[in-house]
Chains A and B, each alone.
Chain A
Amino acid sequence: MSEAKPDVQAKLQDPEFLEKIEALKAAYPQPRTALLMCLHLCQSEFRHVPEACQELLAEKLGMTPAHVRGVVTFYEMFTEEPTGKYLLQVCKTLPCLLAGSEKILEHLERRLGIKPGETTPDGRFTLVAVECLACCDSGPAFMVNETLHRRVSTDDVDRILHELE
């Protein structure tokens, strides 16, 4: 096993957490289908998928650690480095671009002092420019963790961030 931080190590031995993994494993005709769901679980738990987690899932689901890593790096919602407490996702694809997403992104960059892909030094916010979120009629789309905000103005963004702070 890779060296893991104490909190990760503890979680990986927490019976409740392990039970959740077992439940996901049992939820599909074949356990391997549960991999992405388990990775979602880890991502939301640790805000990234630690190596120790990848190894644990590989063992539980009968895969090689390399395979799990290939999966983690393929899907954009999984990260190998921790994201901020709040993942700020601005849709940048054409319909939202036409709705003004550039202004939203620029506003966030200025306000937070970071570029897309970066995290504020206090670890609170990670800003990402994402592709189409499938709400093209109500762009610019702005998703904070799992909450989607539609047709946001820069004022809306300020209000949303203020409520988080």
Chain B
Amino acid sequence: MAEPLKLLTRNVGKPNSTHIDTYMASGGYEPLMKALHKMTPEQVLNEVKAANLKGRGGAAFPAGLKWSFLPRKKEGEKKEPLKYLVCNADESEPGTFKDRLLIENDPHAILEGILIAGWATQAAGCFFYIRGEMPQGARIFQRAVDQAYAKGFLGKNILGSGFDFDVWVARGAGAYICGEETALMESLEGKRGQPRLKPPFPAGYGVYGVPSNINNVETYANVPLIIQNGAAWYTSIGTPSMPGPRLYGVSGHVKRPGIYELPGGVSLREILYEHAGGILGDRPLKAVIPGGSSTPVLRADQIDVAMDPDGLKTVGSMIGSAGVIVMNDTVCMVKALLNLLEFYARESCGQCTPCREGTHWLELILRRLEEGGGKEADVDLIVEVSENIMGRTICPLGDAAAMPAISFAKQFREEFLAHAKLGRCPMGHVPMTTVV
């Protein structure tokens, strides 16, 4: 069993952990000084590339590579082209609650990561877009930003380096879709959060049409660790397809739900049974969603798998946000999927046809199946409708709804069919295990 790490969570639990003095007392902002004074932007970029830092928001795209898509000044040019960074703190994928932990406990680690990324890309500043439902986090982060300005880590000519960088905190207002990078940018521009057509990609056309790079909170928080300890150290943790430490959020039917900082690629079984203490009520495990609600669901016999992109691919799923939702045998899978489709239908922005209409239709089919009146053909219909959404939408929300729908209906087909045969939920009499 891997010991829990104290890297990303090194300051969590310390008294006054959000204050810049607390952060600096244990070496905080030293990586920034190292980057600004001892490394060129290119060296920083190469270090992050060598560390193979994978995006922690869901797509696991290599962060260093993403940074390198931003335009840089050409030979003979005096000024860097204007570009922005964005920190995606719109944490709203069901089952995902790791960014909240960092924002509310260690905002300076995020801020330092943003600053180092700013240096590496020579960006003008960063928009920190935080969920509207996290007012506390917004206040904490704003305070951290104010402290950093006061210490000269933000603003003009940071620590005498000649580098200028600003951070702007902006709040969302209740829309899951704004976690999608281009919807977030629309929202930053004071618009409805409707994802943009791609191409053009944010690196060419981002906030205000200016080239922009967007990373998740946890992704940025990894950057100071990489700069402080080097890429070789970083890749010694985790697996090739998910190097470094990772925050696994475990929720649902486990005895000790919570955030566990463990190496990338740790086994799902280990997370559930060793760190999270096993299944609630000591009942049989039924299903696990490994990486936030959008990732395909696994059956109990599929948990001997590495929690990284390569490992989860072998069981047809994805690492996503590493938000693990655990369900024991008291859970009706139709009801669970209905709950998720209610979510996706409600959160669909409504601009493109398959997602707007399809998620709603799926919700209706599932409700009938769960509440009575469903037909056996509905099970295939769920798959067909989902396949008609999958890959046909502007943004990934369509896929995010279709993937759980297809996987639930296929992995638990017999249970879905039983609903139709019985004309209602066969588990109606089994009280579902709950915490309260």
A residues with a Cβ closer than 8 A to B are 27-30, 32-37, 39-40, 61, 63, 67, 70-71, 74-78, 89, 92-95, 97-100, 103-104, 130-140, 143, 146, 148, 151-154
Q: Once the chains bind, are A98 and B331 in contact (CB under 8 Å)? A: yes
Cα separation A139 to B94 with both chains bound (whole Å): 12
Residues in B neighbouring A148, C-beta threshold 8 A: 136
B residues with a Cβ closer than 8 A to A are 91-97, 99-100, 125, 127, 131-136, 168, 170-176, 187-193, 208, 249-253, 257-259, 289, 293, 323, 325-327, 331, 336, 339-340, 342-343, 346-347, 349, 432-436
Cα separation A140 to B432 with both chains bound (whole Å): 14
Q: A94-B339, A134-B134, A136-B257 are in contact. Are A99 and B174 (CB under 8 A)?
A: no
Q: Once the chains bind, are B171 and A40 in contact (CB under 8 Å)? A: yes
Residues in B neighbouring A95, C-beta threshold 8 A: 94-95, 251-252, 325
Nearest CB in chain A to that of B168: its residue: A28
Q: Once the chains bind, are A103 and B434 in contact (CB under 8 Å)? A: yes
Nearest CB in chain B to that of A36: its residue: B173
Q: Once the chains bind, are B132 and A77 in contact (CB under 8 Å)? A: yes
Q: Once the chains bind, are B252 and A34 in contact (CB under 8 Å)? A: no
Contact of B436 among A76, A93, A100, A134 (CB under 8 A): A100
Cα separation A98 to B257 with both chains bound (whole Å): 12
Contact of A77 among B174, B251, B257, B347 (CB under 8 A): B174
Cα separation A99 to B346 with both chains bound (whole Å): 21
Q: Once the chains bind, are A135 and B343 in contact (CB under 8 Å)? A: no
7 contacts between A and B (CB under 8 A): A75-B132, A76-B175, A95-B95, A135-B97, A136-B97, A139-B435, A146-B135
Which 10 interchain pairs have the tightest Cβ spacing?
Answer: A100-B434, A76-B174, A35-B190, A75-B173, A136-B251, A137-B257, A32-B190, A95-B251, A77-B174, A100-B436
Q: A32-B190, A75-B132, A98-B432 are in contact. Are A134 and B92 (CB under 8 A)?
A: yes
Cα separation A129 to B127 with both chains bound (whole Å): 30
Residues in B neighbouring A35, C-beta threshold 8 A: 190
Nearest CB in chain A to that of B91: its residue: A134
Q: Once the chains bind, are A94 and B435 in contact (CB under 8 Å)? A: no
Q: Once the chains bind, are A97 and B339 in contact (CB under 8 Å)? A: yes
**What is the distance, in angstroms, from A26's C-beta to the closest C-beta of chain B?**
11
Q: Once the chains bind, are B168 and A75 in contact (CB under 8 Å)? A: no
Q: Once the chains bind, are A104 and B190 in contact (CB under 8 Å)? A: no
**What is the distance, in angstroms, from B48's C-beta to the closest C-beta of chain A?**
25
Q: Once the chains bind, are A137 and B188 in contact (CB under 8 Å)? A: no
Residues in A neighbouring B259, C-beta threshold 8 A: 137
Contact of A98 among B127, B251, B323 (CB under 8 A): B251
Q: Once the chains bind, are A131 and B92 in contact (CB under 8 Å)? A: yes
Cα separation A89 to B92 with both chains bound (whole Å): 15
Q: Once the chains bind, are A136 and B249 in contact (CB under 8 Å)? A: yes
Cα separation A28 to B189 with both chains bound (whole Å): 10
Cα separation A66 to B217 with both chains bound (whole Å): 33
